[in-house]
């Protein structure tokens, strides 16, 4: 089953370049810039974005898991893998592939702020417009999308489709 295109490869490329330009302007002259990607989904976005950023930066990774995903009652988040080097005093830009309820990002921002970074900003390629359950500000957003099941460009369905070069829509079985 071939996912139906929601955002084409060309549109992603164009938008990633725009975001990189915007970040470059905002962070020009800043030291200790850290791009912190949330695994697994953000790995492709990070790779494309980072290679277009002239601002000196380092990359870090975290893996988070959430329980009761999709249920309003739970949504607890746990750190599965943490950064390797301290972010204290750094200008951190969290890189996400998708914001759904906002719970993962809210948790992560609150956690990072306890570690005394110089600043924390957020960047996500897509956001599901009508799904947010908690308030979380996205400083750099690629696209707002409707509440459909999306895959590709890092996003998976049962670990499939992550390396699809575009963002497509699939109908999960049972839905």
> What is the set of active-site residues?
100
Q: Considering only residues 10-39, where is the footprint of ligand PRP by CB under 6 A?
A: 38-39
Binding-site member from 15, 40, 58, 115 for ligand PRP (CB under 6 A):
40
One-letter-per-residue 3-state SS of 48-112: HHHCCCCCCEEEEEEEEEECCCCCCCCCCEEEEECCCCCCCCCEEEEEEEEECCCHHHHHHHHHH
By the rule CB under 6 A, 52 interacts with ligand PRP: no
Binding-site member from 66, 83, 141, 166 for ligand PRP (CB under 6 A):
66
Task: Please give the Cα distance from 156 to 149 (Å, whole number).
Answer: 9
User: First vs last Cα of the chain: how many Å apart?
Assistant: 16
Task: Please give the Cα distance from 175 to 123 (Å, whole number).
Answer: 30
Binding-site member from 34, 98, 151, 164 for ligand PRP (CB under 6 A):
98
Selected range binding ligand PRP among 28-36, 99-107, 112-120, 163-171, rule: CB under 6 A: 99-107
Binding-site member from 7, 44, 100, 161 for ligand PRP (CB under 6 A):
100
- DSSP-derived letter for residue 129 is T
Report in angstroms how near the CB of residue 4 gets to ligand PRP at its nearest. 20
Residues that bind ligand PRP (CB under 6 A): 38-41, 66, 96-104, 156
């Amino acid at each position: 089953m071939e996912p139906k295109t929601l955002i084409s490869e060309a549109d992603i490329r164009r938008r990633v370049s725009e975001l990189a330009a915007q970040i470059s302007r905002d962070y020009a002259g800043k030291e200790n810039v850290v791009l912190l990607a949330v695994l697994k989904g953000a790995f492709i976005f990070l790779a494309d974005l980072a290679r277009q950023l002239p601002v000196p930066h380092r990359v870090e990774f975290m893996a988070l898991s959430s329980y009761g995903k999709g249920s309003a009652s739970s949504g607890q988040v746990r750190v599965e893998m943490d950064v390797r080097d301290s972010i204290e005093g750094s200008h951190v830009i969290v890189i996400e592939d998708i914001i759904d309820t906002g719970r993962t990002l809210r948790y992560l921002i609150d956690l990072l702020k306890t570690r005394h970074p110089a600043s924390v900003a957020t960047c996500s390629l897509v956001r599901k417009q009508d799904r947010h359950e908690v308030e979380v500000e996205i400083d750099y957003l690629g696209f707002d999308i409707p509440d459909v099941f999306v895959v590709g460009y890092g996003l998976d369905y049962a670990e499939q489709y992550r390396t699809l070069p575009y963002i497509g829509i699939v109908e999960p079985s049972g839905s």
